[in-house]
Structure 1
Amino acid sequence: MSDVKKDHNLGSGTGAVAGALTGAAVGSAAGPVGSLVGAVAGGVIGSKAGDSIAEAVNPTGYEKHFQDTYTKTPYYNSSRDWNDYQPAYKYGYDTYGEYRGKQFDSVEPELERKWDATKGNSRLAWDEARGAVRDGWHHIERAIPGDADNDGR
């Protein structure tokens, strides 16, 4: 499989999972059947969103960009390494499609609540990870025409 196709499949899959989780949560108000319908609908919508993000920002190129530059950022802590920061950048990439059209600052409290369950082996607490997640989020916004955040950052 070509790298481009693999990256689009990765973006589509990431979007599908995020969309399914959101859809299931929204559908749960209607009971178990609502959760199932919400998960399926959310998965389809999320897959499309993830694929469009993968078209604009190749996931492999995205990760390489940040791996090459994270040590030059103001939030970098030299007692941490790429294995700590990579999950934060991935979290920015993965969640952007779920909240597309919203400003980072407006969804940050929810992102913070979910960070500990998402961070894997990263040693970063939210206050350390926030800058990387935000940079990842804004990197995608700049790549997708019309999606730029208006908060001036």
Structure 2
Amino acid sequence: MIRYSKKREAILTAIRSTTCHPSAEWIYHTLKPTHPDLSLGTVYRNLVFFQQQGQVQSVGVVNGQERFDANTAPHSHFVCTNCGAVIDLHSVKLDSSLTRAVSEQYGLAVERHELTFYGRCQTCIKQEESNQNIQN
């Protein structure tokens, strides 16, 4: 049986309440003012627990910090290589024929796959254009 914990509930709520794909550090700093006895270790342990329970997924490491997503439905992501923003791409469908092709070609039992795009986000592109206009 899993014990109820106010801190655990607060951590999960924090992840579910944002689309920024938070890091453990972001969650810790967000919750620390209202949960002064919260430790970063508690946040990390609960993130592992939530992953094991299928309640959150890791989006990978961005700028040295693992980022998390409470949306566990299959979907793609975009990672800005400039500012580190992680953006959901819900309309980019994950291709089941790719899963079948990899399974057949390599003799593997593929269960799922993830698709992540990397580049510069709209905000960073606009900022670069603005900086170029100022310099010219």
Asked if Structure 1 and Structure 2 have the same fold, meaning a TM-score greater than 0.5 normalized by the shorter chain, the answer is: no
Higher helix share: 1
Higher relative contact order (CA 8 A, sep 6+): 1
Higher strand share: 2
Provide the TM-score with structure 2 as the length reference: 0.32
- Structure showing greater radius of gyration is 2
Provide the TM-score with structure 1 as the length reference: 0.29
